[in-house]
Chains A and B, each alone.
Chain A
């Protein structure tokens, strides 16, 4: 009987859903549009998106014209923030020699140009238009492009990051493209590049920033968490460990 009881307890513990808080001290910034308590509105636009990491890195925009719109049922019946090509949250100073950024975004305009849902110092995570091969990229002095194309109006999970061995960018849980260039963060901006150009056209549902390049195990847990939360598990490749069930603790 004792053995059976312990077995049930283990089963119960293992069914707890994984979320970015499980990344512990690695978690540097966590913006979650589903958590309406973390969103401050100015009418129908968002003046502040509060950080859930515990680090107090809230992002804000004091200019009404540059605030993203709050869309209550934007993705999988959950809220998202809509950026119209002239919206962004002001820069946060944040120095990270190694990092990763994961986000759920949907590009809603395709031109010849390149747009940045997340900027950091020089460069950022970009969505490229026709002049840029429709690729996602992690940009710094040089760029590393994704294998997969950006698809207009298709919700997408994008992961990019760097450590002292090089960079990675992965789309929808597929194997990352890599190179041996190292890159760091000096600031972070949501909705445009940090120097104020190339504002994003589209929606952002969630952003998770870490102070290291996540291991494959943690990257896949984060991809699984984002996919199941935002109704995008069909986007994951068949070989993904969280294709059929969301990650648990």
Chain B
């Protein structure tokens, strides 16, 4: 998965808001069996929540192929004890 990367939280929030708008959120879920909308169940509210990575920048998953692949060094390291 590719991510869009920003220097500041404000930049990331603004960009994510535009993606949310473009993707048509909020969307009402559709039952996989009946194909009918289920407004009483899940509503997809937005595209993503920007997340701060280890180096201080802000990222969110790209809706398309524009962006960069996540680097494992972005996230805190996991240790198995």
Q: How many residues of A contact B (CB 8 A)?
A: 40
**Interface members, chain A 82-117 (any B CB < 8 Å):** 84-86, 111-114
- Asked if B10 CB lies within 8 Å of chain A CBs, one says no
Residue pair A40, B32 in contact (C-beta under 8 Å): yes
Residue pair B33, A36 in contact (C-beta under 8 Å): yes
Summed over the interface, the residue pairs from A and B with CB atoms below 8 Å come to a total of 98
Once A85-B70, A114-B78 are accepted as A-B contacts, the answer to whether A67 and B32 lie under 8 Å apart by CB is no
Residue pair A39, B32 in contact (C-beta under 8 Å): yes
Residue pair B44, A63 in contact (C-beta under 8 Å): yes
**Interface members, chain A 144-163 (any B CB < 8 Å):** 145
Residue pair B81, A142 in contact (C-beta under 8 Å): yes
Chain A residues near B33 (CB-CB < 8 A): 36-37, 39
Contact with A along B48-81 (1 / 0, CB 8 A): 1100000000001101000000101001101011
A63 to B25, CA, bound (A): 9
Chain B residues near A238 (CB-CB < 8 A): none
A36 to B48, CA, bound (A): 25
Residue pair B1, A64 in contact (C-beta under 8 Å): no
Chain A residues near B78 (CB-CB < 8 A): 113-114, 197-198
Q: How many residues of B contact A (CB 8 A)?
A: 30
Q: How far is the CB of A150 from chain B (nearest CB, A)?
A: 13
Once A85-B1, A197-B78 are accepted as A-B contacts, the answer to whether A37 and B31 lie under 8 Å apart by CB is yes
Partner of A40, one of B31, B46, B81: B31
Residue pair B44, A141 in contact (C-beta under 8 Å): no
- Asked if A137 CB lies within 8 Å of chain B CBs, one says yes
Residue pair A64, B72 in contact (C-beta under 8 Å): no
Chain A residues near B70 (CB-CB < 8 A): 85-86
Q: How far is the CB of A240 from chain B (nearest CB, A)?
A: 28
Contact with A along B1-44 (1 / 0, CB 8 A): 10000000000000000000001010101111110001001111
Chain A residues near B27 (CB-CB < 8 A): 42-43, 47, 64
Q: Which residues of A are at the interface with B, using a C-beta cutoff of 8 A?
A: 36-37, 39-43, 46-48, 50, 58, 60-67, 70, 79, 84-86, 111-114, 126, 128, 132, 137, 139, 141-143, 145, 197-198
